[in-house]
A and B are shown apart, each in its own frame.
With several copies, the nearest count.
Chain A
Amino acid sequence: MTEQLNAWDRVQLARNAARPHALDYINELVKDFVELHGDRLFGDDHALIGGIGDFRGRTVVVLGHQKGANTRENIDRNFGMPRPEGYRKALRLIRQAEKFNLPVLTFIDTPAADPGLGSEERGQGNAIAENLIAMAAMRVPAIATVVGEGGSGGALAISIADRILMLENAIYAVASPEACATILWKDAAQAPAAAEILRITAHDLHGFGIADEVIPEPVAAHLQPSATIQRAGDAIERHLRDVEQTIATMGIDTLVATRYAKYRGIGRWVDNGETILRNGTVTNAPNGTEHVTSMQHSGSR
């Protein structure tokens, strides 16, 4: 429906305040959801929520960035920018998921990790990093869905998963278009150009092999939230079943090794003059011959 939109159009849609946020997905898709609070260390972060509930017949642990629908809510939610205690709550719930062998579903929607003084004091970097390693090694299935704004490390911190799904108008970027424009052109107003050049749309990410599926929005999500959420739920369920099938037939070790191989394989570089594309797909070498590089190191565990 929105195929003709440019990157900046999609940035606007991804940020639309009326767009369904994590709790909208959770309330519609997760039965008897109980939100669980706190990192048991310092605080309870309202920008990163988590809990437990029933997703289509199985108990799951759910994590999500939560933006507000209005200013008052956004202040309470810190505009969806988690502080270290948010990531540490997520880590606690990931450990709980592992303990009880529950799949993890995450809903990604954040402009960035909080850049405040308190967050620095309490180790924002450490908190994100601990989540990355925990999710990379967790022995339960995980499906991450980018439902709005996938902002840099703040988004990455709860999106290490066996599948990364993206809503059609969601974005996922190494830096906000505004920040990128400031760096490249010393001018935040160049954000639309930066959005284009950064290749941050769902279709771009799918093309790069980073997103596993683009979930089409009936129209833009905020115009038909319920239909969008159900489509997302169907996609999540389909991928979760697929991952559960992998565990049933090949075991959890295979799943964890496959997850690692995926991340191990991300990146493109040239070695001895040849373009190497990991992920097992094909690229065009500078000398004009197509080739696939062997993945001798991938999944070497």
Chain B
Amino acid sequence: MRELFRRQPKFSPTAPGDETRSIPDDLWIKCPKCNELQYSKDAERNLYVCPRCGHHARLSAAQRIDTLVDEGTFIEYDAGLTQSDPLEFVANGEAYRAKAASAGRKTHTNDALVCGTASICGQPVSLAVTEFGFMGASMGSVYGEKLVRAIERAIEGRLGLVTVSSSGGARMHESMFSLMQMAKTTAALAHLGDARLPHLSLLTDPCFGGVTASYATVADVIVAEPGAIIGFAGPRVIEQVTRQKLPEGFQTAEFLLEHGMIDLVVPRAQLPERIGTLLRHFAVQPEPAKSDDADITRSAEPAEALHD
């Protein structure tokens, strides 16, 4: 399903191969929940939300950025970071490096997190968005390092931090280096908090494992998209361990809201306005000495960035 949604995004993240694919406008897309069919062009206009049942389809990082930030404001940073393979990991005859390279070609990203600066409803932010298509957006060293740099960029530029997360779990191929990214990213948020800058966390379908047990739930406001499945342990693991069938609606965004774990469930179309309003409420005035640097698009050297 996700593959069908892929298209040439307005923002095009740099990728190793840098190949582009052209997708015909008249492709049919089927809603995985209610089987409703719509043209890919209509799907894009509907932000990949099913007009019939409201199902929020998964987005690529590029699509997410397009649907969330003010047009043309995204500048990518740290796009050049890639895996180092500290374990020289090979399983089933497939090397981690090869697997990652293949994922990179597929997703046009070097790893599972795309970071940069942008504005949302006029509010400047440091932004970090997962690419679920890249190895299930598992959190490895690159993900962790890029996120911490995004946090540091927020602190240096006195920007709010917006993270958009979906994840299938740990990056097994980096073993303990993967686990430790939970500690690394969360620890960095302590500094963001000391700087009195807000972290708004958007949880999207599906979001599990280390990500929900680290930075993504240490936020001033946690928002989720309707119907997103979010949890610590995956549904299959829970069913396996407890030998219980999970109740209807378990681990949905609405379930988390009812259980007090998130602040808001917001439909995709309303996300920019709602996040923009929150950023405005939390907006901390730039520190006096830095007040002239408030225009963040000029405050540091951006990595290669492409606008359409």
Contact = CB atoms under 8 A, between A and B. Distances in A.
Q: Determine whether A and B are in direct contact in the complex, meaning some CB atoms lie less than 8 angstroms apart.
A: yes
A115 B177 contact: no
A153 B210 contact: yes
A267 B264 contact: no
Nearest to B190: A137
Interface in B268-286: 274, 277-278, 280-284
B92 A184 contact: yes
Given A120-B233, A121-B259, A266 B280 contact: no
Instruction: Give the one of B174, B193, B213 with max A CB within 10 A.
Output: B213
A268 B217 CA distance: 24
A269 B78 CA distance: 12
Interface stretch (A12-20, A38-46, A212-220, A229-237): A38-46
A100 to B, nearest CB: 6
A184 to B, nearest CB: 5
A115 B92 CA distance: 28
B187 A263 contact: yes
B281 A54 contact: yes
A288 B258 CA distance: 55
A147 interface: no
Interface stretch (A64-72, A196-204, A240-248): A196-204
Contacts of B82: 269-271
Contacts of A59: 281-283
Contact of B260 (A39, A180, A185, A264): A39
A113 B242 CA distance: 14
Contacts of B281: 32, 34, 52-54, 59
B191 interface: yes
A151 to B, nearest CB: 10
Contacts of B278: 34, 52
B232 A113 contact: yes
B175 to A, nearest CB: 5
Interface in A109-138: 113, 115-117, 119-126, 128-130, 132-133, 136-137
A152 B179 CA distance: 7
A33 to B, nearest CB: 9
B183 interface: yes
A43 B259 contact: yes
B161 to A, nearest CB: 14
B70 interface: no
Contact of A36 (B144, B247, B263): B263
Contact of B212 (A35, A40, A125, A199): A125
Contacts of B238: 115-117, 120
Contact of B149 (A126, A175, A297): A297
B27 to A, nearest CB: 32
B187 A264 contact: yes
B80 A272 contact: yes
Given A99-B196, A117-B242, A266-B180, A132 B282 contact: no
B133 interface: no
A156 interface: yes
B218 A269 contact: no
B216 to A, nearest CB: 8
Contact of B218 (A41, A133, A185): A133
B258 A266 contact: no
Interface in B139-157: 140-142, 144-145, 148-149, 152
B91 A132 contact: no
Given A34-B277, A269-B141, A200 B176 contact: yes
A197 B91 contact: yes
Contacts of A100: 196, 198, 220, 282, 284
B181 interface: yes
B237 interface: yes
B81 A125 contact: no
A130 B257 CA distance: 18
A56 to B, nearest CB: 14
Contact of A116 (B145, B149, B241): B241
B214 interface: yes
A198 B232 contact: no
B86 A132 contact: no
Contact of A174 (B86, B175, B260): B175
B34 interface: no
A223 interface: no
27 contacts: A32-B280, A34-B277, A36-B264, A38-B263, A42-B259, A42-B260, A52-B281, A99-B220, A100-B198, A115-B232, A116-B241, A117-B238, A123-B260, A124-B232, A130-B218, A132-B182, A132-B186, A136-B190, A152-B179, A156-B183, A175-B169, A208-B177, A264-B148, A266-B181, A267-B140, A269-B82, A270-B82
Given A115-B242, A132-B187, A174-B170, 9 more contacts: A38-B261, A52-B278, A100-B198, A119-B232, A129-B216, A156-B180, A266-B177, A267-B142, A267-B180
> Closest 7 interchain pairs by CB?
A38-B260, A267-B141, A136-B187, A115-B233, A125-B212, A125-B232, A124-B232
